[in-house]
């Protein structure tokens, strides 16, 4: 599903964010990327949806080498990868329905198809009946559910989440984790960067720990702080 081979990511400033990164994620896995601030977690995720390009090494996604794609090939790849951020990144001037429908309109889906798909994902994230609300009329947890619904609507085989519970209280974080687990049980691969020790310890999954740009641990059912 996803393979990193000897990947190095270096920013224009000369900063080496990560180097010599090797890992493989199989279809249907749920993987946490943990590590202290600045360790390189976000950089690894950004490489998956092509916001950054590795300086060295290769990345394979869906059996395809995505290391160096042409600019025009990137939108197609991004539609196959659901992305969720800490700060939700919803369009404030659009209601919940339109935030989710947006990605489908861009690819020219019919009104009927859009309606079916949006209502379907709203149900998955438990937001039936809230389509007409605007982001500032719903809670942070609900905003993150909308972001999850938006990530899901194209039925991606993989979802990458960067600190999805970082702005949420513990109860709301649990609700988001329940949805992520449900999505994962349906077969979607999930790669999630997080600082949330309690979540990593509570919902046991594979843990890849990153420190100073290197992988220092990769445990099938690890906890958060065995090494870090």
Ligand X SMILES: Nc1ncnc2c1ncn2[C@@H]1O[C@H](COP(=O)(O)OP(=O)(O)OP(=O)(O)O)[C@@H](O)[C@H]1O
Interface positions, 85-104, toward ligand X (CB under 6 A): none
Q: Does 62 bind ligand X (CB under 6 A)?
A: no
CA distance 192 to 109: 29
Helix (H, G, I), strand (E, B) or coil at 4: strand
Task: List, as one string, the DSSP characters of 67-101.
Answer: SS--GGGHHHHHHTEEEEETT----TTS-HHHHHH
Q: Does 11 bind ligand X (CB under 6 A)?
A: yes
Among the listed residues 17, 25, 103, 148, the single contact to ligand X using CB under 6 A:
17
Q: Does 179 bind ligand X (CB under 6 A)?
A: no
Helix (H, G, I), strand (E, B) or coil at 17: strand
Q: Output the CA torsion sign for 151, 35, 140, 188.
A: positive
Tokens encoding 34 = 């943990």
Pick the piece of the chain touching ligand X (CB under 6 A) from 10-18, 114-122, 135-143, 181-189.
10-18
* Total residues at interface with ligand X (CB under 6 A): 12
CA distance 56 to 8: 5
Residue 14 CB, shortest distance to ligand X, in Å, is 8
Residue 197 CB, shortest distance to ligand X, in Å, is 13
Interface positions, 33-52, toward ligand X (CB under 6 A): 35, 37-43
Residue 159 CB, shortest distance to ligand X, in Å, is 17
Residue 183 CB, shortest distance to ligand X, in Å, is 22
Ramachandran angles phi, psi of 61, nearest 5°: -135, 135
Pick the piece of the chain touching ligand X (CB under 6 A) from 7-15, 24-32, 71-79, 118-126.
7-15
**Exposed/middle/buried for residue 50 (C-beta within 10 Å: 0-12, 13-18, 19+):** buried
| Neighbour tally for 186: CB within 10 Å | 11
Pick the piece of the chain touching ligand X (CB under 6 A) from 13-21, 114-122, 128-136, 173-181.
13-21
Q: Which is nearer to ligand X, 13 or 221 (CB)?
A: 13
Residue 81 CB, shortest distance to ligand X, in Å, is 17
Among the listed residues 15, 22, 116, 139, the single contact to ligand X using CB under 6 A:
15
Q: Which is nearer to ligand X, 3 or 16 (CB)?
A: 16
CA distance 31 to 221: 9
Give the interface with ligand X as residue ranges (CB under 6 A).
11, 13, 15, 17, 35, 37-43
């Amino acid at each position: 599903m996803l393979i990193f081979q000897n990947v190095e990511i270096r920013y224009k400033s000369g900063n080496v964010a990560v180097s010599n990164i090797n890992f493989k994620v199989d279809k249907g896995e749920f993987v946490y990327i943990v590590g202290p601030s600045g360790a390189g977690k976000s950089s690894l995720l950004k490489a998956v949806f092509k916001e950054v390009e590795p300086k060295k090494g290769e990345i394979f996604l869906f059996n395809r080498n995505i290391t160096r794609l042409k600019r025009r090939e990137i939108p197609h790849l991004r539609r196959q990868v659901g992305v969720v951020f800490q700060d939700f990144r919803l369009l404030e001037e659009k209601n919940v329905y339109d935030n989710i429908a947006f990605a489908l309109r861009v690819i020219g889906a019919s009104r009927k198809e859009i309606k079916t798909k949006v209502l379907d994902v709203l149900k998955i994230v438990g937001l039936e009946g809230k389509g007409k609300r605007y982001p500032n009329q719903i809670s942070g947890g609900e905003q993150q559910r909308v972001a999850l619904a938006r990530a899901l609507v194209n039925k991606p085989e993989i979802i990458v989440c960067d600190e999805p519970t970082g702005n949420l209280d513990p109860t709301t974080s649990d609700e988001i984790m329940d949805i992520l687990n449900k999505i994962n049980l349906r077969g979607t691969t999930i790669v999630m960067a997080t600082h949330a020790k309690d979540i990593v310890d509570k919902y046991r999954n594979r843990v890849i720990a990153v420190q100073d740009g290197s992988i220092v641990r990769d445990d099938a059912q690890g906890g958060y702080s065995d090494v870090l």
